[in-house]
Chain A
Amino acid sequence: AQTVTQSQPEMSVQEAETVTLSCTYDTSESDYYLFWYKQPPSRQMILVIRQEAYKQQNATENRFSVNFQKAAKSFSLKISDSQLGDAAMYFCAYRSGNSGGSNYKLTFGKGTLLTVNP
């Protein structure tokens, strides 16, 4: 079974600074997807960024970028120019690239609570 580990329960960053959230995962598969989701106090999970394992290029979405190290099974999220609205719980998630059955479920880490200080 796949597992996702987020080793930082809490992180803090100063507004306008850069912060990196860590995520490692364990899988025997070669085809899969990785995600970072943000959960603000409203509880609604929002997709931040997605990475396909077959793509070597790191995904980027505006101020959010990832460092995907497939061999190391590492998938960190970098937030540049942090804003107060970035404060939230961040979850790393894994999904198999194989079809069928429970392969369609996302496996989540336990999350990292990010605080942004003004």
Chain B
Amino acid sequence: GAGVSQSPSNKVTEKGKDVELRCDPISGHTALYWYRQSLGQGLEFLIYFQGNSAPDKSGLPSDRFSAERTGGSVSTLTIQRTQQEDSAVYLCASTAWVGVTGELFFGEGSRLTVL
């Protein structure tokens, strides 16, 4: 596709349920990032994938959060046993070559509401 695609756009779930958020990056982009944007806060880094290298998981807030990237393309962010504090917009971004420009191309995000 022309841009970074994220689904679902909005997700409402009950506390304790698991959710999966999907990101389809720009074709050919080797690097993929997940960020979390909570109300009134900036963007919080969650995880970074670069090609076939081991992902940088240093931003994941707890072991309830995990992410994978299959075939160097689509990524799924999974939140297990969701809590109300997980409510936020989850943004995915991709870039072709981090070493040069650092410009990230973002999707429109998945808004998660945990009741």
- Interface bin, chain B: 20 to 34
- Report the tally of A-B residue pairs with Cβ distances under 8 A: 62
CB distance from A89 to the nearest CB of B (A): 10
Interface size class of A (residues with CB under 8 A): 20 to 34
| A11-19, A79-87, A94-102: which lies at the interface | A94-102
- Chain B contacts for A50, CB-based, 8 A: 101-103
Which among B43, B48, B58, B106 has the highest number of chain A CB atoms within 10 Å? B43
Q: Is the CB–CB distance between B59 and A43 below 8 Å?
A: no
A116 at the interface (CB under 8 A from B): no
What DSSP secondary structure best describes chain A's contact surface?
mixed
Say which one of A55-63, A64-72, A106-114 lies at the interface with B.
A106-114
Chain B contacts for A111, CB-based, 8 A: 42
In the complex, the chain B residue whose C-beta lies closest to that of A44 is B108
- Whether a CB of chain A sits under 8 angstroms from the CB of B25 is no
Q: Which of B65-73, B75-83, B91-99 contacts A (4 or more CB under 8 A)?
A: B91-99
Contact of A102 among B56, B101, B104 (CB under 8 A): B56
Interface residues of A (CB under 8 A from B): 4, 33, 35, 42-47, 50, 91, 93, 95, 99, 101-102, 104-111
Show the binding face of B for A, using Cβ within 8 Å: 3, 31, 33, 35, 40-43, 45, 48, 50, 56, 58-59, 89, 91, 93, 98-99, 101-104, 106-109, 111
Extra inter-chain contacts (14) besides given A102-B45, A105-B33, A111-B42, CB under 8 Å: A33-B102, A43-B108, A44-B3, A45-B91, A50-B101, A99-B99, A104-B56, A104-B98, A104-B102, A105-B56, A106-B45, A110-B40, A110-B41, A110-B42
